[in-house]
Amino acid sequence: MTANKVLVLTEQFTNECHLFDPLRNAGYVVEVNETGRLPDEARLKQLLAKDVVATIAGGEPYTPDVIANAKDLKIIARWGVGYDKVNVPAATKAGIPLAMAFGQNHESVAEYAHAMALSLACGIGRRDAMVKEGNWTFDGFHPGLWGRNAGLIGLGRIGGAMARRLNGQGMKVMVFDPFLTDEQAKEANVIPVSLDTLLAESDLVSVHAPSTPKTRHILNDAAFAKMKNSAILINTSRGPLIDEAALVRALENGQIAGAGLDVFEIEPLPAGSPLRGFSNVVLSPHVSGMDKMAEERVTGRCVANILAWLNGNPSELTPYVVNPETLSAGQES
């Protein structure tokens, strides 16, 4: 039997979803994860053991062991832009391209981050609760954001989209990004600064950097001590960038004014996490890039990437693959 399965392992789709029809029309059997949770390493290894030529990946762990045992796997198409759950060297060694959906949902993530920031700065959550509880009173002036200082950690596609929104409301936008050029900063209308300057001067700190060993816990006790006690923190990138225990201490001690978090060090967020108990913290379950526009755009990109590779058109994948050496290897084989 010819291997012809494509597994959709993200959590938000059903087998009835029409967005996968191009794969079905091309003769592939599409199986969608309808469990509402991502497979763990053992389950993923089992799922990929036979006949699976491609996956549309969520945040499940593609470890070296998983990849080594996925004998028929030809391509991993990541639904999104982060790939910290995929062991790229192992995929590259196996000749498996890791194809991303770059450029498809950055506006969605930035919009969500901006909405979280505005909700906290305007006290929308607490006031909604207050009125629904039957109270109608002036509860103090909210800080707002317009005319204030914003600090972005990272200025990739998402950070750039966030900068446009913050510029639009008259904020001074500072950026810490070791890879930012003067030309890029000028084009984005942002001011390159050190991390220490950003932390000390920002009324809003929004995180838009990848998860790497260098960025792990970039926001820790020392970082929170440098921030204004009126500052708001937003993270829609990756959980490990924030030391959550340090964040809890900062919130308890009033070192910062609040936080909006869509990502966490451990996902799902453990039931006993102290972060669940703060009225000045807005939480969501890693969904910032999942608006209706992104649903079509990101899924369409994943499907197109899979078909391009399986149909022998590797050049179409060039802008999206993080291990491009696999493309040339595939052409030679």
- DSSP sequence for 2-42: ---EEEE-SSS--TT-GGGHHHHHTTPEEEE--SSS---HH
| Domains located in the chain, CATH noted | 5-104+291-332 (3.40.50.720), 106-283 (3.40.50.720)
pTM, rounded to two decimals: 0.90
Q: Per-block average pLDDT, block size 10, for the chain (333 residues)?
A: 90 95 98 95 97 97 98 96 93 98 95 98 96 97 97 97 98 98 97 98 97 96 98 98 98 98 96 97 95 95 98 95 89 53
Mean pLDDT over all residues of the chain?
96
10-65, pLDDT tens digit by residue?
999 999 999 999 999 999 999 999 998 999 999 999 999 999 999 999 999 999 99
User: Strand, helix or coil at 79?
Assistant: coil
Task: Return the bridge partners of 150, or none.
Answer: 173, 204
**What pLDDT score was predicted for residue 3?**
86
- Measured distance CA(35)–CA(11) in Å, rounded: 7
Q: Do 50 and 3 touch, CB atoms closer than 8 A?
A: yes
Catalytic residue ranges: 238, 267, 286
In degrees, to the nearest 5, what angle opens at C-alpha 100 toward C-alphas 95 and 102?
145
